[in-house]
Structure 1
């Protein structure tokens, strides 16, 4: 399963590279708009994921680094974060 999450991270990073290249040198007419739209939509989804996980990341060693990784990788980083233990979850 770690291989799939790593592959997902790699493909997400590749997608962000395509979006960045599109910003520097726009692709042909219909493609550059679609890449911008897909990048904006994925960015909004990842920001929403980071906001929804804001409280659950408070107890982590580096919560802001985790939030940054969620903004970049989304669910592929969330799946690598271990679930809270039963003792921490019982008082919530």
Structure 2
């Protein structure tokens, strides 16, 4: 699964690179609007993910760094964060 999450992070980073290049050098007419809209939609979704995970990241060593990674990578970073141990839970 680590390969899947790493590949997802790489593809997300490449998408953000395409959005950045599109902002600096706009693509042809209908394509640049679609890339801008897709980038804006993904930014909103990642921002909402970061807001929803705000409390659960408080116990982490570097919560601000985790929030920044969630803004860039979204669910691909969330899946790499280990789940907190639940007190009283045992495996029978």
TM-score range normalised by the length of the shorter chain: over 0.9
TM-score calculated relative to the size of structure 2: 0.94
Gaps of 5+ in 1: none
Aligned residues: 89
Match of 1:3 in 2: 3
Aligned-CA RMSD value: 1.4
Greater fraction helix: 1
Cα distance in 2 for partners of 1:8, 1:86 equals: 28
In the other structure, the counterpart of 1:34 is: 34
Match for residue 64 of structure 2? Answer: 64
SS in 2 for 1:86: coil
- Alpha-carbon distance in structure 1 between the residues aligned to 2:88 and 2:76: 24
Give the Cα–Cα distance (whole angstroms) in 1 for the partners of residues 16 and 86 of structure 2: 36
Cα offset, 1:88, TM superposition: 9.1
TM-score if structure 1 supplies the norm length? 0.94
